[in-house]
Amino acid sequence: MSALGLPPFLVLSAFLFACGVVCVAARRNAIGVLMGVELILNAANLNFVAFARFNPAFRLEGQVFALLVVVLAAAEAAVALAIILNFYNNHATVDVDRADELKG
Amino acid sequence: MTLEVALFAVIATATAGSAVGVVASRNVVRAAVWLLFTLVGVSLLYFLLGAEFVGAAQLIVYVGGTLVLVVFGVMLTAQGPLQSLKTRPTEWAVGGVLGAALFGLLAAVVSGATGPPGEDRPLPGAGPLGLGFLGLTDSPVSYLLPFEIVSVHLLVVLIGAAYLARAKRRAKL
């Protein structure tokens, strides 16, 4: 493992983060946007675990926060899907560009 | 080339490829399947890093729970012929440039990062992790309060999601 080091994991995490950002920015389906958010959270989580492995000061903390992020991501997905279902019931679409009723 | 490097190369390529699949696939069901492969790849990376418990939790909670939830959302909001909402090419261009710039910036910052000279000990397993949550380790910090907050938060989310997604009675007209 010492042959590998920290930077490859961080570069992969940066790639996952960039993919998530593109997914959030470019998709019009609300569930696709939610998938982008999941990608971003996974990128952050990969950073937590990689630092827990390679930085002796974060051996426990990295894993603890990774577990908290996994659980909170599940909760966030549940609420987001409930909101999307509600929006679909009222508007018969999941296009995020149509959710503009709060515009002044 | 040691075994770890080879394994990392294979898993990282698969994970990054399926992340690109999530972004690029038109059909949202296919994007969900690509997301499945990405999440499994990330959990394999956790196993590779020696964090078995986090990897198992990722497999159980994400792949077993969140992704099933996402697929249910896809099914409940399927719109037949309109299922794949087209993104305009200009939006793809702007998003792609944004993502490429972000990745370039992050990679440039990160590739210079050197970890502290690591002693190569295995990560604490599930037992020390649980004791750390309870605050029973040598370190002065305990994670009991965040643990309880997350527990209560899950209960709130359970009730809130059930309330938001409930079947409404027809309003009497």
Mutate to test the interface with B, among A6, A71, A83 (most CBs of B within 10 A): A71
Tens-place pLDDT, residues B86-119: 778 888 899 999 999 999 999 998 887 776 666 6
Which of A36, A55, A94 is facing B116, going by the closest CB pair?
A55
Do the beta carbons of residue B67 and residue B32 sit within 8 Å?
A: yes
Q: What is the DSSP string of B41-71?
A: HHHHHHHHHT-HHHHHHIIIIIIIIIHHHHH
State residue B10's pLDDT score: 95
The residue ranking higher by pLDDT, A57 or A48, is A48
**Between B96 and B126, where is the model more confident?**
B96
Give the pLDDT mean for B66-86: 77
What mean pLDDT value characterizes chain A?
Answer: 88
B47 belongs to a structural domain: yes
Q: Which domain holds residue B152?
A: 3-98+125-172
B44 within a domain of the structure (yes/no): yes
- Residue of A22, A86, A94 lying closest to B99 (CB–CB): A22
pLDDT score of B83: 53
Q: What is the CATH number of the domain that holds B76?
A: 1.20.120.1200
Asked, for residue B109, whether it belongs to a domain, the answer is no
Confidence category of residue B136, pLDDT binned at 50, 70, 90: confident
Is residue A1 over pLDDT 60? no
What mean pLDDT do residues B65-77 have?
87
Q: Angle at the Cα of B14 (from B24 to B105), degrees rounded to 5?
A: 65
User: Which of B70, B91, B143 minimises the CB distance to A31?
Assistant: B70
Tell me the count of A-B CB pairs closer than 8 A. 248
The string of pLDDT tens digits covering residues B18-65 is 999 999 888 888 999 999 999 999 999 999 998 899 999 999 998 888
Token pair, residue B29, equals 């069901």
Q: For B122-141, what is the mean pLDDT?
A: 80
The radius of gyration computed from the CA coordinates of chain A, to the nearest angstrom, equals: 17
Q: Find the residue in A nearest to B6 (Cα).
A: A4
Judge whether B30 lies within some domain: yes
How close, in Å, is residue A62 to chain B by CA atoms?
A: 10
The CATH number, out of the four listed (1.10.260.40, 2.40.50.90, 1.10.287.3510, 1.20.120.1200), of the domain defined by the range A8-91: 1.10.287.3510
User: How many domains is chain B built from?
Assistant: 1
Rounded-to-integer distance, Cα B32 and Cα B27, Å: 9
Distance from the Cα of B121 to chain A's closest Cα (Å) equals 8
Residue B118 lies in a domain: no
User: A19 and B102: CB-CB below 8 Å?
Assistant: no
Interface test with B, best of A29, A69, A95 (most B CBs within 10 A): A29
Task: List the helix and strand counts (H, then E) for chain A.
Answer: 3, 0
B112 assigned to some structural domain? no
B81: pLDDT strictly greater than 90? no
Structural domain includes residue B31: yes
Q: What is the pTM of this model?
A: 0.89
